[in-house]
Amino acid sequence: MRICLLTRLLLVMCLLTLSGTGLQAQVHEGDARPAVASAAIVAREAADDASHANAGVDLFEAPLVPFVPPPDPLAGMHIASSPERSADFVVLISIDGLRADAVTPANHTLARLRNEGTWATDAMTIHRSTTLPSHASMVTGVDLPVHGMAWNAYRPSQGVVRFPTMFRVARMAGLATTMVVGKNKLRHLVDEGGAENFIIAGRGCDQIVSRASTVLRTGGPGIVFLHFADTDQAGHRHGWMSQPYLAAVEHADQCTERVVDTLSHRAGGLARVLLIVTSDHGGHRRSHGSASEVDRHIPWYAWGGAAARDTRVTRRVNTQDTASTILSALGLPQTPGIEGRPVVEALHESGSAALAERTTRRRGARTARAAPQH
């Protein structure tokens, strides 16, 4: 396993050196660094893969197959944001590897979000509970057979996610989209016309929040995605629910507090802001990736002026519902073929009522079209 991983590392480094190109031309680094991943980043991620393998992690490596682009479900669509939308500005925080039961009242900010806003108590990620496939479902609203991301490492030759992300839908409506992440392999989530700004800020959530502070404070209507990697690292190195892991959870809580504080100082306040905090997977011992509940049960909180207050959602919420909920909050149409469903209970009453009314009208129109003609 170690020899294979080292061989893969050397091959990727050679390809990057020779090609000098990234996955997509539209991927930009926020600090004007080259779009191609540095050798240090690739080496660090290969080392992580090695440590995951030593911990017994199944990386779910898919064979390299020729990429055949599927039909584009957004082709020919004109997309605009509805004036009935709940939010103008949505922030999605993914705390990598955060188990739902790892959040306690001692984590003051996360506890505040779930107590003041909406808390989905039975939220689950996909059965392939690893970072890249799970995040692909989170931002597209479809499961692995549709988005096609069956691998969990940076593989430039495999291209990008094969179903439109919520970032692409937002950009088609003229909204801004930014991703600030802690893992280079998340480049695979930048589809053509998707995230406008993609920034690899470092593994620590402090670095992520610092790099995102300006857009959080002054950004215009759109989506900001933040990825905290600390908890996942601690889980693989020390074990899920170990003391170092719980310390990483507390650190992520403090970083989330910084995000909340920054959003509170926006010029328009929190009235049109929706913050969703969730995770890509849980974990057990020093591993994850199974279909067991301990690997799949994730936190899911919605907070801000655009979120419903003091609400518990006890029905099943899937990670695919995250993209669907964000599209709905921004007054955007659901991507044709999307599998997720909006968590309407999480949206502010006026926005969720408008969404329910639009859904009812669409269903009525479909029923009328399907009725036999006499």
Q: Is the pLDDT higher at 243 or at 39?
A: 243
- Residue of 253, 249, 258 lying closest to 230 (CA atoms): 249
What's the confidence (pLDDT) of residue 58? 40
> Which amino acid is it at 373?
Q
Q: What is the pLDDT of residues 6-32, one digit of tens each?
A: 455 444 444 434 333 334 434 444 333
| CATH class label, 89-363 | alpha beta
Question: How many Cα neighbours within 13 Å face the side chain of 63?
Answer: 2
Confidence of residue 71 (pLDDT cuts 50, 70, 90): confident
**Furthest CA-CA distance within the chain:** 71
Phi/psi for 224 (5° steps) reads -120, 125
Buried-exposed string 135-159: b where 16+ CB fall within 10 A, e elsewhere? bbbbbbbbbbebbbbbbbbbbbebb
Confidence of residue 176 (pLDDT cuts 50, 70, 90): very high
Confidence of residue 47 (pLDDT cuts 50, 70, 90): low
Phi/psi for 316 (5° steps) reads -65, 130
What's the confidence (pLDDT) of residue 351? 43
Rounded Cα distance, 278 and 19, in Å: 36
Residues in contact with 169: Cβ distance below 8 Å, sequence separation at least 6, in sequence order: 74, 79, 327, 332, 333, 335
Give whichever of 65-69, 79-83, 138-142 has the largest mean pLDDT. 138-142
What's the confidence (pLDDT) of residue 9? 45
What's the confidence (pLDDT) of residue 83? 87
Q: What is the DSSP secondary structure assignment for residue 151, as one 8-state letter?
A: -
Rounded Cα distance, 365 and 198, in Å: 39
Phi/psi for 278 (5° steps) reads -150, -165
What's the confidence (pLDDT) of residue 60? 42
Phi/psi for 207 (5° steps) reads -65, -40
| Inter-CA distances, 20 with 14, 64, 190, 350, Å | 10, 21, 18, 49
Confidence of residue 367 (pLDDT cuts 50, 70, 90): very low
> Which amino acid is it at 55?
A
Strand 222-228 with 311-318, pairing = unpaired
| Inter-CA distances, 279 with 245, 276, 319, Å | 15, 10, 9
Span 238-248, mean pLDDT?
Answer: 97
Confidence of residue 145 (pLDDT cuts 50, 70, 90): very high
- Residue of 164, 196, 178, 213 lying closest to 90 (CA atoms): 178
Span 165-173, mean pLDDT?
Answer: 97
Span 176-202, mean pLDDT?
Answer: 94
Q: What is the pLDDT of residues 329-355, one digit of tens each?
A: 999 999 999 999 999 999 986 444 444
Rounded Cα distance, 50 and 193, in Å: 33
Q: What is the mean pLDDT of the chain?
A: 82
Domain residue limits, the chain? 2-25+36-54, 89-363
What's the confidence (pLDDT) of residue 69? 62
The total number of residues shown for the chain amounts to 374
Q: If you compute the radius of gyration of the chain from its CA atoms, what whole number of angstroms results?
A: 20
Rounded Cα distance, 187 and 141, in Å: 18
CA angle 68, 155, 50 (to 5 degrees): 145
H helical segments located in the chain = 2-19, 39-54, 108-116, 131-140, 144-147, 166-172, 205-218, 230-238, 243-264, 293-296, 320-329, 349-370
- Residue of 327, 294, 343 lying closest to 119 (CA atoms): 343
Tokens (6 digits) for 365: 């129109």
Confidence of residue 66 (pLDDT cuts 50, 70, 90): low
Span 94-107, mean pLDDT?
Answer: 97
What's the confidence (pLDDT) of residue 43? 52
Rounded Cα distance, 173 and 155, in Å: 30
Helix pair angle (2-19, 39-54), 10° resolution: 160
Span 273-294, mean pLDDT?
Answer: 95
What's the confidence (pLDDT) of residue 369? 37
Residues in contact with 357: Cβ distance below 8 Å, sequence separation at least 6, in sequence order: none
